């Protein structure tokens, strides 16, 4: 078995000069999760999996990284976790919003059905859709 190793990824972006228009052009930098930050997506994912999957606290992860020659403070790891959580929030809120919509529809249809069956539907002056209580 080969133990996990961390590598530094160096991205070379050559600068080219144009004699005709007298401009210097440089290729755009690759996108990262944290703008102008050090970690790649893989490193942030590794920190998240260790924290939430293996239940390793950040201070212990900082010690493990220090044993491999990577000096990171616990606050830096905490910033990465918070930033990743903010980026992953739409993945959490999407299904949750859908579940709330389905629950609201189920509740509203139940209330409308109970209002129509429980009383004379022709004597009702208010539309049944107005009888949709939403409890938190």
Q: What are 28-50's pLDDT values in tens digits?
A: 888 888 887 878 898 999 999 99
CA 134 vs. chain centroid, Å, equals 28
61 occurs within a structural domain = yes
Look up the pTM and report it: 0.62
Q: Which domain holds residue 71?
A: 38-98
87 occurs within a structural domain = yes
Instruction: List the one residue out of 37, 114, 113 whose CA is nearest residue 76.
Output: 37
> What contacts 48, CB < 8 A, 6 or more positions away?
81, 84
| Structure confidence at residue 131 (pLDDT) | 41
- The total number of structural domains in the chain stands at 1
Residue of higher predicted confidence among 120 and 14: 14
65 occurs within a structural domain = yes
110 occurs within a structural domain = no
β-pair type (23-26, 15-18): antiparallel
| Structure confidence at residue 77 (pLDDT) | 96
Q: Is 18 helix (H, G, I), strand (E, B) or coil?
A: strand
Per-residue pLDDT tens over the stretch 79-136: 999 999 999 998 888 777 777 777 666 666 555 544 444 455 555 444 444 444 444 4
């Amino acid at each position: 078995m080969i133990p996990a190793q961390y590598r530094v990824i160096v991205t070379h972006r050559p600068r080219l000069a144009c004699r005709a228009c007298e401009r210097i052009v440089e290729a755009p930098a690759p996108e990262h999760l944290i703008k102008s930050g050090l970690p790649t997506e893989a490193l942030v994912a590794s920190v998240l999996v260790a924290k939430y999957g293996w239940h390793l606290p950040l201070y212990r992860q900082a010690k493990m990284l220090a044993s491999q020659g990577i000096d990171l403070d616990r606050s830096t790891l905490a910033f990465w976790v918070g930033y990743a959580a903010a980026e992953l929030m739409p993945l959490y809120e999407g299904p949750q919003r859908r579940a709330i919509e389905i629950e609201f529809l189920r509740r509203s249809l139940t209330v409308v059905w109970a209002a129509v069956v429980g009383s004379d539907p022709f004597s009702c002056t208010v539309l049944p859709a107005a009888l949709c209580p939403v409890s938190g």
